[in-house]
Amino acid sequence: MEENKNPEIANKHDITCKNCAGKLEFKPGTKSLECPYCGTLNEIIIDKEKIREALREIDYVKFISDANNVETPKEESKYVKCQACGAETSVDAKMISSECPFCGTPLVLEKSQMKSLVTPAALAPFKIEQKVAIESFHKWMKKLWFLPNKTKEYAKPQKMQGIYTPYWTYDSNTTTHYSGQRGDDYQVTETYTDSSGQTQTRSVTKTRWTSVSGTVYVTFDDVLVVGSNSLPQKHVYSLQPWILNELIPYDKKFLSGFKSESYEVDVKNGFEKAKTIMDKDIVNAVNRNIGGDHQRITSKNVNYNNTTFKHILLPIWLSSYRFKDKVYRFVVNGQTGKVKGERPVSAMKIILLVLLVIAIIVAIVLLTQN
């Protein structure tokens, strides 16, 4: 990279280049900061002894019962709230103007404020660069059905932003007492009169129901709950799986050149969401325990024991594209390149497909009648 003779000199809050004193930015896919002026890579030293401490779980019950949470690390950062969508993102002390990465609305930086939040224990650094995220978007578009003609040609990502998104992870040992019914199928032979008036027999399946009760134990590890309400929830959760074994101790150096969002979902509300996620596995465990061919759960009482949590940041590329005067948002997993998002649908293509299916059915019916 050709050296810029007039780099922007970083202020005391920035991370500076050891070669030219310019402001550094984290380079995805590496463990280094890159100088955009002289191209020098400045390695981020990761203290391996701190990894275990970074992934240490916080006792949930103790945290909730302690109003001041004095033992939980906190940090103060400057955030500004978007007046349009309500998202709160970090802002640089030197910024004089900026746009909301979630909706593109100009941010009123004069209304930024310091917030004291639970310090992230760990983060997963961006693994794929912006250009790779854009390539992933175009591959995703090519696989979509029922897109209007020329969508792929005109759908261009606008201002793709790298956002470190807040997540909570929860561990819990659950004990569930349940009552319900077990259904076992059995066969009986019954007689009937056919259309010709002849007596016939046939085998019929019936179900014998028995009242049951019991207890199941299910252990959960790292149940992920997104702490943001700014992103389309169904798409963000669809970005899983995340590579959580690549988590490293939280270090602001990895945030340089990117934005981070403050959590809107607190620890307590996050656990309520985690319970909903856990419930699917608990129900499956109860059904397996009941056994039989069919199961009915009439009641279940779940106890959550040894519940712990941690606060982490995960990397998401966020952007949007415009098609026929409408904006569609999409997100890209910053580790894997997995894409989820909004897309236009061609009503005409769907109608043509329905007509084709109807035509095939009619053709089959006519052939069988001949």
Cα(174)–Cα(170) distance, integer angstroms:
12
Residue 268: both structure tokens together: 């307590």
Could you tell me the pLDDT band of residue 4, with boundaries at 50, 70 and 90? very low
Length of the chain (residues): 370
Could you tell me the pLDDT band of residue 17, with boundaries at 50, 70 and 90? confident
Domain range list for the chain:
1-45
pTM equals: 0.81
Cα(156)–Cα(146) distance, integer angstroms:
18
More confident residue, 76 or 37: 37
**pLDDT over 90 at 10, yes or no:** no
Could you tell me the pLDDT band of residue 323, with boundaries at 50, 70 and 90? confident
Query: Could you read off the pLDDT of 82-129 as tens digits, one per residue?
Result: 777 767 776 665 444 467 766 667 776 666 666 677 889 999 999 999
| CA proximity to 131, closest of 157, 110, 150, 104 | 157
**pLDDT over 90 at 72, yes or no:** no
Neighbours of 157 (CB within 10 A): 17
The DSSP bridge partners found for residue 208 are 184
Could you tell me the pLDDT band of residue 218, with boundaries at 50, 70 and 90? very high
Strands (E), 58-157: 58-59, 74-81, 88-90, 113-118, 122-123
Q: Give the pairing of strands 58-59 and 294-323.
A: antiparallel
The average confidence (pLDDT) of the chain is 85
**pLDDT for 14:** 56
Q: Give the pairing of strands 294-323 and 122-123.
A: parallel
Q: What is the DSSP letter of 257?
A: T
Could you tell me the pLDDT band of residue 11, with boundaries at 50, 70 and 90? very low
Angle value at C-alpha 188, between 183 and 194, nearest 5 degrees: 130
Q: Rg of the chain over CA atoms, in angstroms? A: 28
**pLDDT for 97:** 47
Averaged pLDDT, 154-160: 78
